[in-house]
Chains A and B, each alone.
Chain A
Amino acid sequence: MSIADPTTSARRSPLTHWHKNNRAIFTMIGSSSVVESYEPKDGSIDEQRQAKELAICDLSTLPRTGFKGQGASMWLGEQGLHLPSSSNSAVIQSSGSLIAKLSDQEALILSDIFALSNDVGNLVNRSTSDHRELTQQTYILPRGDSHCWFTVTGSKASEMFSKICAVDLRTHKFLLGSVAQTSLARVSSVIIRHDFGDTPCFYVLSDISSAEFLWDCLLDAMYEYNGVNIGINALQSLIDKH
């Protein structure tokens, strides 16, 4: 366990101050400052157990990117990535990264949160040049900054979401790899089902300027089910036990 000051890195989640005020312990994953756990206030909150019932984690500083345009799918294929065939679905690459096809012309790439393949970094590097954009009609999107990234895990997640989202996210309807582009508490969001072990998990990507607002709404909606905020260590444990 390493303790890091989140302000030593220039890239800061909009929730950094909230995390600090709630006794977060930070760590570095690659060059990203992420909460690894929160010091319990009184007694102990078992973040690992919570993660299986209902918990939220902030991954906003971890690498992600997006590409748009007529040639985006083909270009990504040429980079060795495997895209889902239909829109609004996601597949995991062998490297562990996740690719979500948001439309025929748009894809979102999220790095795996533990092993940190350098997929995102490599794509960003290879894509930067006008010439390439024009000839390949592939335009990069600043997804690392335009959206925040939360995970919501646990058996109660679907029911909690139904308080703030009009899409049916029950696990037997919103299957693994499903993607919804919709509104959460009136904030435009992308929701991706990507389980950790056998624990249901939802990636939530929303407009970053409303990150604090949405975080509050999610915690409020989670309150009824005793949901809590957790750090990345607890997410790790969901896979380890599997």
Chain B
Amino acid sequence: MPDHIASSSRDWAEYVFFHDNNAGIVTEWWCHIASSFWFLAERNTVTDEIIRTFKTDELFHGRADVTDPKSESK
């Protein structure tokens, strides 16, 4: 997420409405519906191979402060 206070209108609109569609290894959100457990996965979008799965705390480390927004991967 770009800076939700300071980013330009254009940058913000691109964040909300545009999505990258990369051919190659991407990191994506997955949810195990039966237990409502969210986790992350690295997947190769060309071969559909799952490289690895990991817990969200690997990317998100501590309490996020929204008055000082960090850039996070979507």
Interface residues of A (CB under 8 A from B): 102-103, 181-183, 188-189
Contacts and interface: CB of A to CB of B under 8 A. Distances in A.
Contacts of B37: 103
Interface string B23-66: 00000000011110100000000000000000000000000000
Interface of B: 32-35, 37
A181 B35 contact: yes
Chain B contact surface mostly: loop
A189 B34 contact: yes
Across chains A and B, which 5 residue pairs bring their CB atoms closest together, nearest first?
A181-B35, A188-B34, A182-B34, A183-B34, A181-B34
B53 to A, nearest CB: 15
A83 to B, nearest CB: 18
Given A181-B35, A188-B35, A189-B34, 10 more contacts: A102-B35, A103-B35, A103-B37, A181-B32, A181-B34, A182-B34, A183-B33, A183-B34, A188-B33, A188-B34
Nearest to B32: A181
13 contacts: A102-B35, A103-B35, A103-B37, A181-B32, A181-B34, A181-B35, A182-B34, A183-B33, A183-B34, A188-B33, A188-B34, A188-B35, A189-B34
Contacts of B35: 102-103, 181, 188
Contacts of B32: 181
B54 to A, nearest CB: 15
Contacts of B33: 183, 188
A188 B32 CA distance: 10
Contacts of A189: 34
A148 to B, nearest CB: 15
Contacts of A188: 33-35
A181 B37 CA distance: 11
A102 B33 CA distance: 14
A189 B32 CA distance: 12
Nearest to B55: A104
* Most chain A beta-carbon neighbours within 10 Å: one of B32, B33, B35, B37: B35
A182 B37 CA distance: 11
B29 to A, nearest CB: 18
Nearest to A184: B34
A103 B34 CA distance: 13
Contacts of A183: 33-34
A182 B34 CA distance: 5
Nearest to A181: B35
A102 B37 CA distance: 11
